[in-house]
Amino acid sequence: MLEKEFNFFKEHKNELQKKYLGKTIVIKNEEVVGVYPSEAEALQVASKKFALGTFLIQKITAKEKDYIQRFHSRVCLR
């Protein structure tokens, strides 16, 4: 799930940082398909063009630790 998009990001991270530092990009099929000032705007525009779950939204920062996020849920399945 979005593995090829994230691998594209990792492989081109330095180039993307130089070009888009401080911006948020949308990656689909190993290609940057949009550049936006915020994650919210990137999601709003990209979700109108592409099905959810088919693109990666990535904020471009200088810190490596900013590229990994974990989300936890309190959902309990019975």
3-state SS record for the chain: CCHHHHHHHHHCHHHHHHHHCCCEEEECCCCEEEEECCHHHHHHHHHHHCCCCCCEEEECCCCHHHHCCCCCCCCCCC
Task: Determine, yes or no, domain membership for 14.
Answer: yes
Count of domains for the chain = 1
pLDDT at 1: 75
28: in domain: yes
Domain boundaries, position 50:
3-62
Q: Is the pTM of this model over 0.95?
A: no
Tell me the per-residue pLDDT of 14-73, one tens digit each, with 9 for 90 and over.
999 999 999 999 999 999 999 999 999 999 999 999 999 999 999 999 876 555 555 545
Binned at pLDDT 50, 70 and 90, residue 74 comes out as: low
